[in-house]
Amino acid sequence: MMASRRKTIRPHLGPARLAGLLAAMLLAPAMAAAEVTSTDANGFGIVQQRNLPGVTPQQAWAAMTRRVGSWWDPSHTWSGDASKLNLEAKPDGCFCEWLPNGGWAEHMRVVYLVPGQSLRLRGGLGPLMELGLSGTMTWRVSARETSGDTAAGTLVEWRYIVSGHRPEGFADLAPAVDGVLGQQLDRLADSLASQP
């Protein structure tokens, strides 16, 4: 009797796929104001901010923590399907992705949480995991009052600090990661703006 063979998806990137993902990250346009705050031989830091007029902090928080699969770009998932993403905003919660045939990938892990205000995750997103790099990402939401030309709403800020060993340095990687995070934050802002 011959055992059946099941196709298994592995979250391993071969050299060609890793190079392709890094190239896509490098070519991704940064769609809004952001800043690579530092880059050195040990890693880099990024800050992304978006002012979301007419959006309450509660709406922004709920979208970020309960509906990540509705706004995350599917081209930046292992499965190609953002609906397979789940973020558990709780102690030791997983920002995970479900893969076919019972597979899964842990993108990041919750290490700090102030519900409705701040969430800190630890891990390496996308190719950073394959490269053995790790990071700490902090998501914050805060209310914004009407001021001058700025309408009341919510300020969303993401900070990502990445470190690890990469002999070729981080000068090329930091702007690529910044661009990808900018795309995700823009997609979050667009999804909130389109809600009734």
pTM of the model: 0.79
Q: Where are the beta strands (DSSP E) in the chain?
A: 34-40, 43-53, 85-87, 94-98, 104-114, 118-122, 134-144, 153-163
Kindly list the domain boundaries of the chain, sorted by start residue: 34-73+110-193
CA distances from 102 to 91, 124, 195 (A): 24, 22, 33
Whether 85 contacts 112, CB under 8 Å:
no
Q: What are phi and psi of 133, to 5 degrees?
A: -90, 155
* Concatenated DSSP letters of 50-66: EEEET--HHHHHHHHHH
**Confidence at residue 89, expressed as pLDDT on a 0 to 100 scale:** 97
Architecture per CATH, 34-73+110-193: 2-Layer Sandwich (3.30)
How many Cβ atoms sit within 10 Å of the Cβ of residue 87? 22
Residues 13-41 pLDDT 10s: 444 444 444 444 433 332 344 678 889 99
pLDDT band (50, 70, 90) for residue 146: confident
Euclidean distance between the first and final Cα of the chain, in Å?
58
